[in-house]
Amino acid sequence: MFASNQYELLDFGEGRKLERFGGYLLDRPAGGTEPFERSLSPGDWKQSARYTRTEGDRGKWSYRFPLPSTWEIEHGRLVFEVKPTEFGHVGVFPEQAANWDWIADQIERIEPPVKVLNLFAYTGGSTLAAAAKGAEVVHIDAAENTIAWARQNAALSGLADAPIRWIVEDAEKFVRRELKRGNRYDAVVLDPPTFGHGPKGETWKIGDHLAPLLSLIAELTEGVPRFLLLTCHSPNLSPPVLKQRLIDAFGRDTCRYTSAEAMMISTGDGRQMPCGSRVRLAAQAEAV
């Protein structure tokens, strides 16, 4: 996880979360936290910049103190540019830090070269974790500005010259094209949204499209990935359901070393905030 001086979850509850990214406090919506009571006083929460949704998935920030347009936080050698967006995201999903460490550990166990495909790759945390360990990475995201952000993170992390291909494309279209080309991958990472659109207006619905995509990925890894990481934030896709999706696509034998669990972030006093689900498929039992 992040060192506490880089990122810290301070409190959550009643549909919101209070976090510190570097030296700045942010108050943002947090689905799934409605039943929880907050532990800090309202005065503590007021020391933050607050994001409020106004229409659809967009919203606005209200600043209770001067906030820079961008700043940086670190996780090991990885450096991330943080900035408030109209969608409430800031460029980093802190619950993924443990997954980046897992990816790095998997790559250290594999004889190089290792070729990794990162789908729905956002600002590149998994891409950089893999590249920092010497893997060749293909980074796929539907948004050109998000890929520019990921490339900035690579430069900040000293990985501007790492063997990373940055591609703006619809995930399923890219996988189908790679299969036709005869290209194959050792490992795949994917963090699909519940709903989304490709660069040419392609529609993504996780309930309809995840299972077919996983079947294509099984072909792309010749049925035996060295590792695979699947994460999502869709309430209807619990860890056991996601694990079953992998079993359906890859077969029970390939998935014998698979773990499925909820992603959590802990506050300093030990309270745990739910942050979606993850399934990790590894080639060796001790690597899960």
The pLDDT tens digits for 186-209 are: 999 999 999 988 888 888 899 999
What's the pLDDT score for residue 55?
Answer: 87
pLDDT over 90 percentage in the chain: 89
Asked whether the predicted pLDDT for residue 20 surpasses 70, the reply is yes
Considering the domain 94-287 in this protein, what is its CATH number? 3.40.50.150
Please, where in the chain does CATH 2.60.40.1180 lie? Answer: 7-82
pTM over 0.85: yes
The amino acid occupying position 187 is A
| Mean pLDDT, residues 41-64 | 91
What's the pLDDT score for residue 201?
Answer: 87
Residue 161, exposed/middle/buried by CB under 10 A (0-12, 13-18, 19+)?
A: exposed
What's the pLDDT score for residue 286?
Answer: 55
What's the pLDDT score for residue 16?
Answer: 97
Residue 260 and residue 243: Cα distance in Å, rounded?
6
What's the pLDDT score for residue 251?
Answer: 96
Please, where in the chain does CATH 3.40.50.150 lie? Answer: 94-287
Asked whether the predicted pLDDT for residue 288 surpasses 80, the reply is no
What's the pLDDT score for residue 13?
Answer: 97
Asked whether the predicted pLDDT for residue 241 surpasses 70, the reply is yes
Confidence label for 123 from pLDDT (cuts 50, 70 and 90): very high
pLDDT, mean over the chain: 95
Read off the pLDDT of residues 137-186 as tens digits, 9 standing for 90 and up.
999 999 999 999 999 999 999 999 999 999 999 999 999 999 999 999 99
Instruction: For tokens 């070269």, name the residue.
Output: 113
CATH match for 7-82 among 2.60.40.1180, 2.60.40.1260, 1.10.10.10, 2.40.50.1070: 2.60.40.1180
Read off the pLDDT of residues 101-121 as tens digits, 9 standing for 90 and up.
999 999 999 999 999 999 999
What's the pLDDT score for residue 157?
Answer: 98
